[in-house]
């Protein structure tokens, strides 16, 4: 019975997030083809803590850094990855029927002019000011919950749900309720404890998989309210990997990029479906 209640709660939550698409216009984000929505992609925020360079790229065994050097190198790498994620989403939106992205340099310049931190989560007043400066209809806010390294609770969630299959629903519940056990009950398998307690399983996951977990939100520039939100995750991108030379396939940075791109595309496609639903809603009402 508890499992059924959790599943119902997850379904209601996901339906609510997707069903909110019909209210975009009421929140100041109306889909109006042929004019595309102007979307500014905010600097991607890393919620997962990258501790060492080897978590996101291959590091030669002989290349040893002091703790201070490692900390600086990690900081620079995370900043580089944040720019990569931001630019990648903006580039992907250029091909969209519904959206046109603001230039990343223009976004950075406007934020600097308004003294807005690229690391902070901007509130409604700041978003309104930034929206006016960029003449943007909405913002795309991307949070990286996993990139090479993921929080231990997410690792257990993926292992307990057979990696990717069924885990997205679990992530929705886990992040909303702060309860991984509840998420595993919704999206996972019954034989959970043996999996997550198996240290070897966690080791193999770290060694052979390159997990990426992303959350994206479309935020109205007029009201500062979230009009769409969803998650995407991936642990491999075998098809893309097979197209590369063998020497490239083993590189962690390459595998992570490919998995990220697959997760990014999932989010953008879901966002476009939500936009289409909005465009059709007025026609149905008539």
The Cα 116–Cα 74 span in angstroms is 23
| Residue at token pair 């975009």 | 24
The Cα 268–Cα 127 span in angstroms is 21
The Cα 261–Cα 212 span in angstroms is 10
Domain membership flag for residue 190 = no
Answer whether 0.85 is exceeded by the pTM: no
CB atoms within 10 A of CB 199: 8
CA distances for 19 relative to 29, 168, 177, 247, 279, angstroms: 15, 17, 20, 45, 14
The Cα 187–Cα 203 span in angstroms is 22
Pairing of strands 138-147, 37-41: parallel
CATH code, 129: 3.40.50
Give me the helices (H) in 21-151, please.
67-93, 104-113, 124-134
Read out DSSP for 6-70?
HHHHHHHHHHHHHHGGGGTGGGT---BTTBPEEEEEPPPEE-SPP--GGGTS---TT----HHHH
* Two structure tokens written together for 38: 């102007």
Which residues on adjacent β-strands are paired with residue 214? Answer: 144, 232
Name the CA radius of gyration of the chain, rounded. Answer: 20
Domain membership flag for residue 56 = yes
The Cα 144–Cα 202 span in angstroms is 21
Domain membership flag for residue 133 = yes
Domain membership flag for residue 127 = yes
* Two structure tokens written together for 210: 């390159």
Angle at 22 between CA 98 and CA 35, to 5 degrees: 25
The parent domain of residue 117 ranges over 2-148+210-285
Domain membership flag for residue 217 = yes
Q: How many domains does the chain have?
A: 1
- Whether the CB-CB separation of 232 and 168 falls below 8 Å is answered with yes
Domain membership flag for residue 179 = no
Q: What is the pLDDT along the chain (286 residues), one digit of tens a residue?
A: 444 444 444 444 444 444 444 456 666 666 555 568 999 999 999 988 998 999 899 888 777 888 999 999 999 999 999 999 999 999 999 999 899 999 999 999 999 999 999 888 899 999 999 999 999 999 999 999 889 887 666 666 555 554 444 455 555 545 554 544 444 444 444 333 444 444 344 444 545 567 788 999 999 999 999 999 988 887 677 777 788 888 888 888 998 999 999 999 999 999 999 998 877 765 554 4
CB atoms within 10 A of CB 66: 8
Domain membership flag for residue 159 = no
Domain membership flag for residue 19 = yes
């Amino acid at each position: 019975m508890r499992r059924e209640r959790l599943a119902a709660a997850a379904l209601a939550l996901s339906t609510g997030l997707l069903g909110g698409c019909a209210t975009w216009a009421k929140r100041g984000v109306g889909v109006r083809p042929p004019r595309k929505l102007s979307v500014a992609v905010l600097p991607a925020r890393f919620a997962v803590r990258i501790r060492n360079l080897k978590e996101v790229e291959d590091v030669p065994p002989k290349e040893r850094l002091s703790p201070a050097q490692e900390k600086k190198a990690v900081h620079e790498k995370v900043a580089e990855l944040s720019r990569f994620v931001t630019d990648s989403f903006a580039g992907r939106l250029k091909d969209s029927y519904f959206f046109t992205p603001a230039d990343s340099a223009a976004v950075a310049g406007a934020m600097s002019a308004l003294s807005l931190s690229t690391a902070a989560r901007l509130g409604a007043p700041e978003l309104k000011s930034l929206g006016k400066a960029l003449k943007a209809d909405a913002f795309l806010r991307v949070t990286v919950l996993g990139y090479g390294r993921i929080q231990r609770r997410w690792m257990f969630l993926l292992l307990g749900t057979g990696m990717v299959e069924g885990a997205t629903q679990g992530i929705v519940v886990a992040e909303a309720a702060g309860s991984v056990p509840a998420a595993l009950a919704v999206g996972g398998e019954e034989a959970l404890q043996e999996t997550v307690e198996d240290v070897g399983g966690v080791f193999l996951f770290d060694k052979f998989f390159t997990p990426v977990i992303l959350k994206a939100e479309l935020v109205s520039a007029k009201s500062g309210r979230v009009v769409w939100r969803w998650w995407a995750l991936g642990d491999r991108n075998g098809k893309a990997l097979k197209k590369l030379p063998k020497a490239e396939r083993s590189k962690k940075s390459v595998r992570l990029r490919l998995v990220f791109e697959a997760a990014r595309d999932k989010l953008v496609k879901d966002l476009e479906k939500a936009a289409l639903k909005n465009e059709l809603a007025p026609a149905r009402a008539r």
